[in-house]
Amino acid sequence: MDSSSILLSPQELIFFDPSILQTQSKIQKEFIWPQTERPNSLQDLQAPLIDLQGFFSGHHDSTYTAAKLIDTACRSHGFFQVINHGVDLSLSHQALNFLDDFFSLPLSLKLHASRKPGTMWGYSGAHADRFSSKLPWKETLSFPYHNSTISNSNPVVLDYFTSNFGNDFKQFGLVYQKYCEEMEKLALAIMELLAISLGVERMYFRDFFKNSDSIMRCNYYPPCQEPELVLGTGPHCDPTSLTILQQDHVGGLQVFANDQWKAVPPVPDALVINIGDTFMALSNGKYKSCLHRAVVNRHWARKSLAYFLCPQEDKVVRAPSVIVEGPRKYPDFSWAELREFTQKHYRADMNTLQSFSQWLLSSSSSSLEHS
Ligand SMILES: C=C1C[C@]23C[C@H]1CC[C@H]2[C@]1(C)CCC[C@@](C)(C(=O)O)[C@H]1[C@@H]3C(=O)O
Ligand SMILES: O=C(O)CCC(=O)C(=O)O
Ligand SMILES: [Fe+2]
């Protein structure tokens, strides 16, 4: 099969095989984004780099300083970075480096773990099995995480790797299991800071996310011969609650702040934190779900690890009354409903929560009409 046949007709599966795509001089139309959405040269985002050392040591003043910085950032664009976050740095680096090992596997092996329809879990090449245009220039691997000590089950991430890839991937499973456990610890600590920032009882959100049902997403962005025409990940707000992103040294993350796209240059050993749609609803819109995207480049592959904190899927997402001044901006919903909306009805973008709210209200009013 020559490389020109690699992209079959839209109704047939498109294989995103970087080793072949990069040999083609022109980008296929499925990957080209509209002119208005293409990357452009831009300034760096001046966002706070929040030192969590004082918070973890229980220092009152530095905890409130951190909470104040977080409050300002979240009211504006929903994005900040943290250092001294307590996540073991060698574990972080190992988790990031393992992405090179995984994504350099033969496509046939990666496809063996392809995302199964109706689930979020598995390998995907450019989401070519889900979308037929504006395909993201990336490969992804997604798997579930929940705290197995609470549910008294097996370590879910270790199980994912050994059951989908065999015992040769046990080391992968051990590293990502430990990484997800560290991510959850940090996410729950940040939930305490968000509670302080919003003026609710300090443990309110930590308790809300206690039995989190979270998502780990590995992103691999191959180099692209026409990077100005494509996007690694299109403009979107994460539908989830809180994202902890580790990006490598290459750069490519961009955040929409003060009415323009801003670059987020990688800060060694810092972790990117952004508010998602579900937490924006929990704050009744006080905190902004961060609008962001990822661009690619001509010469280097880029990697990122995104941990998406989600509540137990059937918990009712509803802003606590102490936060709500005036009308409630969103209908009550569950994460299971929003997740299903993004997986079956709507490609997550910058308007997901608004579209979901309208969809939910229209479907509940139509079911009322028929009851
Ligand atoms: C609930 C989710 C859907 C996506 C993965 C998580 C949180 C981020 C979402 C996503 C990355 C937003 C951009 C579009 C998307 C389709 C993607 O590029 O991967 C989204 C994910 C998804 O639906 O798989
Ligand atoms: O890779 C990045 O920098 C961003 C990825 C992202 O936004 C996502 O996976 O939701
Ligand atoms: Fe995102």
pTM to 2 decimal places: 0.94
- Are the beta carbons of 109 and 166 closer than 8 angstroms? no
With a 6 Å cutoff on the Cβ, whether 233 touches ligand 1 is yes
Identify the sign of the CA torsion 248, 145, 235, 299: positive
Indicate if the pLDDT at residue 3 is higher than 80: no
Tokens of 99: 């992405």
Query: What's the pLDDT score for residue 9?
Result: 45
Ligand nearest to the CA of 348: 1
DSSP per-residue letters across 135-154 = --S-EEEEEEE--HHHHT--
Residues 55 and 85: their CA atoms lie apart, in Å, by 10
Residue ranges per domain, the chain? 36-365
With a 6 Å cutoff on the Cβ, whether 348 touches ligand 1 is yes
Count of all residues that appear for the chain in the document: 371
SS3 277: helix
Output b/e per residue, 71-101; b: 16+ Cβ within 10 A.
bebbeebbbbbbeebebeeeebebbbebbee
Tokens of 77: 């664009």
CATH homologous superfamily, domain 36-365:
B-lactam Antibiotic, Isopenicillin N Synthase; Chain (2.60.120.330)
DSSP per-residue letters across 90-125 = HHHHHHHHHHHHHHTS-HHHHHHTBPPTT---EEEE
Amino acid at 180: C
Bridge partner residues of 139 (DSSP): 125, 220
Query: What's the pLDDT score for residue 13?
Result: 53
Taking the CA of residue 308 as reference, the ligand 2 atom at the shortest distance is: 10
- State pLDDT tens for residues 318-335: 999 999 999 999 999 999
Identify the sign of the CA torsion 277, 278, 284, 287: negative
DSSP 8-state secondary structure symbol assigned to residue 358: H
How remote is the CA of residue 55 from the centroid of ligand 3, in Å?
26
Smallest CA separation from ligand 2 atom 4, residue: 294
Smallest CA separation from ligand 2 atom 3, residue: 253
pLDDT: is 43 or 63 the higher one?
63
Residues 295 and 252: their CA atoms lie apart, in Å, by 5
Smallest CA separation from ligand 1 atom 2, residue: 239
Q: Of 32-46, 222-236, 278-292, 311-325, which range is least confident? A: 32-46
With a 6 Å cutoff on the Cβ, whether 136 touches ligand 1 is yes
- Return phi, psi of residue 359, to 5°: -60, -45
Residues 29 and 21: their CA atoms lie apart, in Å, by 12
User: What is the predicted ipTM?
Assistant: 0.99
Q: Distance between the two ends of the chain, CA-based, in angstroms?
A: 55
- State pLDDT tens for residues 67-87: 999 999 999 999 999 999 999
- 302 in catalytic set: yes
Catalytic residue among 115, 217, 302, 339: 302
Provide residues with CB under 6 Å of ligand 2: 217, 219, 233, 238, 245, 247, 253, 292, 294, 304, 306
